[in-house]
Chains A and B, each alone.
Chain A
Amino acid sequence: NAGVTQTPKFQVLKTGQSMTLQCAQDMNHEYMSWYRQDPGMGLRLIHYSVGAGITDQGEVPNGYNVSRSTTEDFPLRLLSAAPSQTSVYFCASSYSTQGNEKLFFGSGTQLSVL
């Protein structure tokens, strides 16, 4: 059982380049999210999805796009990378939103924008 798989694990970009961070889960979870983690700031929500075809913005959505064409995949696109987007990115998924249903996290993508 792979859980939540993120690729790549590391990436270096130049300012202005675009790229897509991949996230896939094999648990048939409806809910998926992208967070970024910066020193001293914890994890902040970028975008989230409550099902295929449905996405919405989180706390820090600027500079990022998402789509959810299937239940399994939730890619995060950086259209024109900026140094401020240097961060560790986590994808997460959850089956439901009630009770003690926890988030399952991917292993993270460390992104550096030069």
Chain B
Amino acid sequence: GENVGLHLPTLSVQEGDNSIINCAYSNSASDYFIWYKQESGKGPQFIIDIRSNMDKRQGQRVTVLLNKTVKHLSLQIAATQPGDSAVYFCAETLKAAGNKLTFGGGTRVLVKP
């Protein structure tokens, strides 16, 4: 549903631990999903993407999992570092819609040294 201006949920994680960020997407027809990282005062930065015909994709220190049955997406960050502190957004789209993205509400990750 629409975010009505509530504070972002926050995940506090110890440096070196793994982080898991969850996202529920809205459109069962969406066929492409992306995770973005947004640092304060900056634009969203692409982290990793996944197509709907996959259920898992791995990058460098990051893994995205897709569960289409329950319309759930997660981002796992291994060995979280202070530089990972940011707000993380999932986004969904239809290939036919190009880069017209629908963003989720975001999760703030705070890495404790």
A, B co-complexed: no
Q: Which residues of A contact B (CB under 8 A)?
A: none
Q: Which residues of B contact A (CB under 8 A)?
A: none
